[in-house]
Amino acid sequence: MKTLITGASGFLARGLAQHLDPTKTKVLGIGRQAGAFAGAFTALDITDFAATLALFEQERPEVVYHLAALSVLQAASGPEGARVMLETNVAGTWNILEASLRVGVRAVVVASSDKQYGALATPPYDDTDSTAFLNGGLYELSKAQQDQVARLYAGLYETPAIRVARLANVYGPGDTHWSRIVPGTIRRTVQQETPRITAGPAGEALREYVFLDDALEALVALANDEQRRGNVPLRREDGKLARVAFNIGSPHRHAAAEVIQTIQTVLREEFGVTGMAPQVQPGTPGVFEPGSQFSKLERFQALLPSYAPRPLIEGLRLTIPWYLAQLR
């Protein structure tokens, strides 16, 4: 079997390439750059449909994990920032799904986000349908549109079987987006810099955190669901988009201050690294900032009964050694 993974330079894609059994599947990563991707790699801009289709026709993958996304807003800064993010996250997803349709890919797993529910969504987030997206920032809107495009394809076509993973905050070894709270706090603590907490709703809201291995297990389970059900049982008779999206979250929810405290406690007690107390920075209440997040997990746990995301402290014990090796 051949498996294609988009977004090869991202830590989720790198982790998935290492997670998949090499005796059962041949992995090909695609993206603008390989980074530390373990396995075969081909450079590709997924916003170029002709090039994307040509590669799919050449490689003929059976399963596709679409993990590519522009997720850090600073990467889309400048006068074309909105266009770049929407083109990558929305048009890129359409290109992957259309190429998959044309060459007969069996299953496509699209990595969406719990942010797609938008700032006005009322928890708990119910994944039996998509909450009406009424407002939100650029990234949130792009993920909502990506999510809807994937669910549209699942309703229109028999194949590929499509599953959408509405992922909460994934952390683990290999994430070098230092603006994120887990890698950023580890680096600042090790380098004796002050961790930062934003005052107001952004710092006070509870967020769900999913360890990398738990997220990878969920993605593989969604791909395997293709063999059992396909798209048809998840279509809506009322004309709404297919119910192929699943929340991949965690019952463990933490405010930013608690995340930082837990990271520093593990660093101090288990690795002998003592850091500086966090600094609270003023933050203006943003109209796009969601409140505390709470994702219903029952539908996915019915699909994968063993899904039990580990607590944050356990995931950090497995995460921190990688950063210590890199930073020291």
Q: Quickly list DSSP for 117-147.
A: G-TTPPSSBPTTSPPP-----HHHHHHHHHH
Assign 289 a pLDDT band (cuts: 50, 70, 90). low
Average pLDDT for 57-84: 81
Average pLDDT for 169-173: 96
Assign 288 a pLDDT band (cuts: 50, 70, 90). low
> How far, in whole angstroms, is CA 287 from its chain's centroid?
23
DSSP 3-state assignment of 244?
A: coil
Would you say residue 67 has pLDDT above 60? Answer: yes
Q: How far apart are CA 54 and CA 228, in angstroms?
A: 30
Would you say residue 280 has pLDDT above 90? Answer: no
Q: How far apart are CA 9 and CA 71, in angstroms?
A: 13
pLDDT of residue 35: 75
Q: How far apart are CA 323 and CA 328, in angstroms?
A: 8
Would you say residue 272 has pLDDT above 60? Answer: yes
pLDDT digits (tens, 9 = 90+) for 28-59: 999 988 777 878 999 999 999 999 999 999 99
pTM of the model: 0.94
Average pLDDT for 216-230: 94
Would you say residue 72 has pLDDT above 60? Answer: yes
Would you say residue 79 has pLDDT above 70? Answer: no
Beta bridge partners of 64: 4, 108
Q: How far apart are CA 324 and CA 268, in angstroms?
A: 12
pLDDT of residue 133: 72
Would you say residue 155 has pLDDT above 90? Answer: yes
pLDDT of residue 239: 79
End-to-end CA distance of the chain: 40
Look at residues 47, 169, 170, 176 and name the one whose alpha carbon lies nearest to residue 99.
Answer: 47
